Amino acid sequence: MSRALLSALADPERLKLYASIVRFGDAAEAAAGKAGQKHLARLIKAGLIEPLPDGSFKADASVFQDALAAETQGEEQGVPKELRPFFTEGRLRSMPMRPAVRHELLAYLVRSLFEEAHPYTEPEVNQRFATVHDDSAMLRRYCVEGGLLRRTKDGASYQAA
């Protein structure tokens, strides 16, 4: 799935808002306030929803079909050429043995999966890594050790470095 779609749906509140629109076409309660309006704008920008003249919203499922079509057209979309051998159908299938290549791959994952200056809980980090590999703990550990993710001393929060 494209980075824009993943990023738009990565925030739990934005995901709840999107689910409400998919199910009911209504976002009134979830979209209240400044934060809700920002979430709506992000979903619109990603092409996930479109505003209707009556003030309601319509979810556009074709955006997922388009993303799937782009992913299945040969090469891994958005993955740097030198890292493509490690991916199959958008999933990380093996880790590079060479430390420099491993670091480059992990840096690519952090850039792709995390917003800068946004704190994430450990379950959120694991959830994001799980979209590309089954061993999210390994990816999290490598990223922290490689200086790509910063972890608070109490381990409660992570942030892209």
* pTM score of the predicted model: 0.54
104 in a domain, yes or no? yes
Measured distance CA(158)–CA(118) in Å, rounded: 8
Of 118, 72, 107, which Cα lies nearest the Cα of 91?
72
- The mean predicted confidence, pLDDT, of the chain is 86
Structure tokens that stand for 71 in this block: 């992913």
Length of the chain: 161
| Residue-level pLDDT at 29 | 59
Same structural domain, 84 and 156: yes
User: Where residue 155 falls among pLDDT bands split at 50, 70, 90?
Assistant: confident
Tens of pLDDT, residues 68-120: 665 554 445 678 888 999 998 889 999 999 999 999 999 999 999 999 889 99
Measured distance CA(60)–CA(44) in Å, rounded: 10
Domain that holds residue 8: 3-64
| Residue-level pLDDT at 28 | 61
Say what angle helices 3-10 and 33-45 make with each other, to 10 degrees: 160
User: Where residue 139 falls among pLDDT bands split at 50, 70, 90?
Assistant: very high
What's the structural domain count of the chain? 2
